[in-house]
Amino acid sequence: MESYDYIIIGAGSAGCVLANRLTEDPTVRVLLLEAGGPDTQQDIYMPLAFGKLFQTPCDWNFHTEPEPHMSDRKLYWPRGKVLGGSSSINAMIYIRGNHKDYNQWRDLGNPGWGFSNVLPYFKKAENQERGASEYHGVGGPLNVSDPRSPNPLTETFIEAAEQAGFSRNHDFNGESQEGFGLYQVTQKGGKRCSAAVAYLRPAMARPNLTVRTSIHASRILFDGRRAQGVRFVDGNQTLQAHADREVILSAGAIGSPQLLMLSGVGPVDQLRQFGVPVICDLPGVGENLQDHPAVPVAYECTQPVSLASAESLINLLRYLLLKRGPLTSNVGEGGGFIKTSLAGATPDVQFHFGPAFFINHGLTPIKEHGFTSGPTLVRPRSVGRIQLRSGNPLEAPRIFANYYSDPHDLDVMVEGIKITRMITHSKAFAKYRGRETHPGDSAQSDQELRAHVCKMSETLYHPVGTCKMGASKDRSAVVDSELRVHGVEGLRVIDASIMPTVPGGNTNAPTIMIAEKAADLIKKGPQTVKTEEAILSGAIR
């Protein structure tokens, strides 16, 4: 059996960061296992092409169970199954969330996770093309840039929002989150800068890192309650590898709870239902699933300026020769954050504006010129869960997103549609605004708008929370503030699943931050958090 210091399961955003940071010590041997293949497809790197990666071998192609509050629809959930994970197939929007998100994590019993604690890790990860500042870093692996060739419709949307009474925001990751503006993107020179590009590729030259693709982890191996290795499927073979120090689970909000349960760590009733020997009864595994739903509000465009004609020969040449033009677009080029009348202390709706028809993840082909604004619920009260479908590790688990189980969420989305319409009917859009196709002018009452939300909402690709971070006294917590799994030894979960609450914004940057911080926790040991606890309690000034 091969032996390593650390085995990382999953080469998504978090796994790539960890593989890089842990192998900075040449004496540390790391094995990184990825179920998908290498990130060689050209569509990964051309920003506008990310939708072409959906429902391909780069995608897990998950679906929810029938959603009871959405006419029993089974919603499609794309997730990256390739080196870089979802950072290789996402829309590249660089958003950290609200400062108060992380103070809430800290106040929920997670010392060391307040905004002042995590900001250094956001900055450490970042190479901000605008330069260093109080909130931004340079020299980090992850390149963050302004969009190279924003569409005129996106600029119009921002101008229209100002005319509707909202402020312009030039930096959603700075002092304040509210307002409207262009989104920064994880691109470099007009190409995607995924976690694999930023972190993994440089580390793969190190002799102490072994990366294996097309490997499906089937079980974490325990000696008593100590994780000691991983069993995995490689083609027709079932193999094992030993971890001298730790097994690190970075398979994401769907894969991480599934593998924990298949390994005997989770709700005891579920484990026994599928004949899984119980290592540790941990009822929070798979619970606390949170996500951001979005709903399209779409219009025909009266001028041929949208992305509908982006894939012309001249635009392809512009991209290949200059890395400029509409093929550098991430579709969701701009947007904003607002507080509706139902909001608390932080914005509860985010807008994603695209100069194109973006319906059903872009899978519904509409060739006409148009534009779409997607009001997105970023403070959901509805909570779902992940459950095993069977004891077969190759079978996808059951996803219960449970969208709109709390009526408050539906009320916020209805207000989001109304605000979208108000913005779109501002003077700036007069020369572009055609017929409203979704939900359509006939939908005016709150009841009709609720029906549109339930019929057309889709995931905004931000599932989190299913291996929640919290103190051991919290029966729903799965990991502690050092991301060690409660009740066992030698096992951590490091990915978006540890988030106690979903941040108010896109989740890729927070996931990378989590892995940066976790790498330091692993390297420095438990004294790091003890020191932070002392600082937070006032014992150290």
Separation of alpha carbons 378 and 409, rounded Å: 10
Closest CA to 248 of 23, 509, 528, 503: 23
Q: Report the 10 Å Cβ neighbour count for 425.
A: 15
Q: Which two tokens stand for residue 342?
A: 């139902």
DSSP-assigned letters across all residues of 212-232: E-SEEEEEEEEETTEEEEEEE
Separation of alpha carbons 103 and 232, rounded Å: 38
Choose the catalytic residue: 292, 352, 452, 462: 462
DSSP-derived letter for residue 118 is H
Enumerate helices (H) and strands (E) in the chain, giving the number of each.
Answer: 14, 25
Which burial class, exposed, middle or buried, applies to 355 when counting CB atoms under 10 A from its CB (0-12, 13-18, 19+)? buried
Backbone angles phi, psi at 130, to 5 degrees: -75, -15
DSSP-derived letter for residue 290 is B
What is the 3 state secondary structure string of 353-395? EECCCCCHHHCCCCCCCEEEEEEEECCCCCCEEEECCCCCCCC
Tell me the CA distances in angstroms from 484 to 34, 406, 451, 492, 531, one per residue in order. Answer: 21, 31, 43, 4, 17
Separation of alpha carbons 365 and 368, rounded Å: 9
What is the 3 state secondary structure string of 298-356? EEEECCCCCHHHCCCHHHHHHHHHHCCCHHHCCCCCEEEEECCCCCCCCCCEEEEEECC
| Contact (Cβ atoms closer than 8 angstroms) between residue 483 and residue 477 | no
Amino acid at 149: S
Query: Which stretch of DSSP H or E encloses residue 272?
Result: helix 268-273
* Bond before 207 cis per omega within 30 degrees: no
Q: Would you call 462 a catalytic residue per the annotation?
A: yes
Amino acid at 388: L
Q: Which two tokens stand for residue 176?
A: 């304040």
Closest CA to 199 of 42, 26, 13: 13
Separation of alpha carbons 208 and 30, rounded Å: 6
Separation of alpha carbons 444 and 486, rounded Å: 50
Find all residues with CB under 8 Å of 409, minimum gap 6, and list them: 293, 377, 380, 381, 382, 403
Q: Which two tokens stand for residue 426?
A: 């501002």
Amino acid at 283: P
Active site residues: 462
